[in-house]
């Protein structure tokens, strides 16, 4: 196999990221600049600030990648960039940067759907064959997909309101924790010692559990969190209550994901005509080790192989974009420099038919 290198660029939210990945799954260089300092005081990502920060950081991030890889930029065989979905200002920065490089170097440009890149990441780190069931849990999306090929993904269910990452972030904010809230809640929950008391004291809902299908709804859980938090005296965050609430929140989420997953496995089986034996969990929330560990036990019992990327490849990164580029290139697909940034780009649809 001839070695092919792809530079992947990601700028759809608050990470300015780039990576160089080979077609034999070698992550040769990998840089992520997290814009936390720009957004932390706002309690969330401010699109305009994010776009400006991407403009500032994109060149140094890409240049450091090339230097770390110890290659000449001309050795790159193609340039891939997120073209959607995401915050349009940021997407434009990475996409235009990638197109300019492609034009200057006379190399192919590959337009990447950010969600597809998350979904294909398990194939970068493991040998996972199509088809597989994928649970995508990120800051903007929560859905189950039957992944039939790099270009053919069928959505089986999704959230009707908040995305799971959003539910983590908003609940954390209510608890007085900084952004992004997911990792903060995980840290706090790990400090909970009396888990039985935690579950008794904070009886949170498992939305849509025991109903048909594999849709989600997290707004009720957020409201239940608010009610508990508002019932506390000021400063509760320093006390045992906070870690117990965080623990119960994670258990409620994991139970819900598991309940929905059981139905999704059957739905996938109906579509493929065979037992689903491969499950991947991807996206920022998949970095949560409590969720990953609980799913490990469940899938072991069920005889299912579980694939969860390492945390650094769950949250937004350039390697997943470069790898999604490799998957498209292997199918002989590249894109024109006219490709438009696509802020809404559901999986299973082309950018033009969205
Ligand atoms: O995939 P991602 O980096 O960006 C999007 O495409 O949205 O996901 C970001 C989301 C945030 O909501 C963040 O709080 C959540 O992933 N997240 C976590 C953890 N690490 C990141 N949620 C729960 N536990 C974590 N350890
Ligand atoms: Zn993402």
Q: What DSSP string runs through 115-127?
A: HHHHHHHHHHHS-
CB-based neighbours (< 5 A) of ligand 2, an ion: 138, 316
pTM: 0.96
Ligand nearest to the CA of 141: 1
143 C-alpha to center of ligand 2: Å?
13
| Residue 143 near residue 261 (C-beta atoms within 8 A) | no
Percent of the chain with pLDDT over 90: 89
Both structure tokens of 258: 């598991």
Q: Residue 32's CB: how many other CB atoms inside 10 A?
A: 17
Reported confidence tier of residue 116, pLDDT bands at 50, 70, 90:
very high
Work out the mean pLDDT of the chain and round it to a whole number: 94
| Residue 263 near residue 214 (C-beta atoms within 8 A) | yes
Mean pLDDT of 29-42: 88
Q: What's the confidence (pLDDT) of residue 352? A: 58
169 ligand 1 Cβ < 6 A = yes
10 ligand 1 Cβ < 6 A = no
Q: What's the confidence (pLDDT) of residue 169? A: 95
180 C-alpha to center of ligand 1: Å?
7
Half-sphere exposure of 286 (CA within 13 A, CB side): 29
Mean pLDDT of 33-43: 83
14 C-alpha to center of ligand 2: Å?
10
Between 289-302 and 240-272, two packed helices, what is the crossing angle to 10 degrees? 40
Q: What are the residue ranges of helices labelled H in 282-317? A: 289-302, 311-314
Reported confidence tier of residue 265, pLDDT bands at 50, 70, 90:
very high
**How many Å apart are CA 22 and CA 302, to the nearest integer?**
34
Length of the chain (residues): 354
Reported confidence tier of residue 354, pLDDT bands at 50, 70, 90:
very low
138 ligand 1 Cβ < 6 A = yes
Q: What's the confidence (pLDDT) of residue 89? A: 97
Tell me: pLDDT of 234 over 80.
no
Closest CA to 328 of 8, 82, 111: 111
Tell me: pLDDT of 40 over 90.
no
């Amino acid at each position: 196999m001839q070695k092919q290198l792809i530079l992947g660029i990601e700028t759809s939210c608050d990470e300015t990221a780039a990576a160089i990945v080979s077609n034999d799954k070698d992550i040769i260089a990998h840089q992520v600049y997290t814009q936390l300092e720009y957004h932390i005081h706002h309690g969330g990502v401010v699109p305009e600030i994010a776009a400006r920060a991407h403009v500032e950081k994109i060149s140094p991030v890409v240049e450091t990648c090339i230097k770390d890889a110890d290659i000449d930029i001309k050795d790159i065989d193609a340039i891939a960039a997120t073209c959607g979905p995401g915050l349009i200002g940021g997407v434009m920065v990475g996409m235009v940067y990638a197109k300019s490089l492609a034009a200057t170097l006379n190399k192919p440009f590959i337009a990447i759907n950010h969600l597809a890149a998350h979904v294909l990441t398990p194939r970068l780190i493991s040998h996972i064959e199509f088809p597989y069931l994928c649970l995508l849990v990120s800051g903007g999306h929560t859905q189950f997909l039957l992944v039939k090929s790099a270009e053919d993904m069928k959505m089986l269910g999704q959230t009707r309101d908040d995305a799971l990452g959003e539910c983590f972030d908003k609940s954390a904010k209510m608890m007085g924790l900084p952004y992004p809230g997911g990792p903060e809640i995980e840290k706090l929950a790990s400090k909970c010692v009396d888990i039985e008391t935690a579950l008794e004291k904070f009886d949170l809902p498992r939305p849509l559990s025991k109903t048909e299908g594999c849709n989600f709804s997290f707004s009720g859980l957020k409201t239940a969190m608010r009610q508990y938090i508002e019932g506390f005296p000021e400063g509760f965050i320093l006390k045992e209550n906070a870690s117990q609430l965080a623990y119960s929140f994670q258990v409620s989420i994991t139970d819900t994901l598991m309940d929905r997953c059981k139905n999704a496995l059957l739905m996938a089986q109906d579509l493929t005509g065979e037992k689903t034996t491969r499950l991947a969990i991807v996206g920022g929330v998949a970095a949560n080790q409590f969720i990953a560990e609980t799913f490990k036990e469940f899938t072991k019992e069920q005889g299912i192989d579980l694939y969860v990327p390492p945390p650094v490849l769950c949250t937004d990164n350039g390697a997943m974009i470069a790898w999604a580029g490799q998957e498209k290139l292997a199918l002989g697909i590249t894109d024109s420099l006219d490709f438009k940034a696509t802020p809404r780009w559901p999986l299973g649809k082309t950018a033009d038919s969205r």
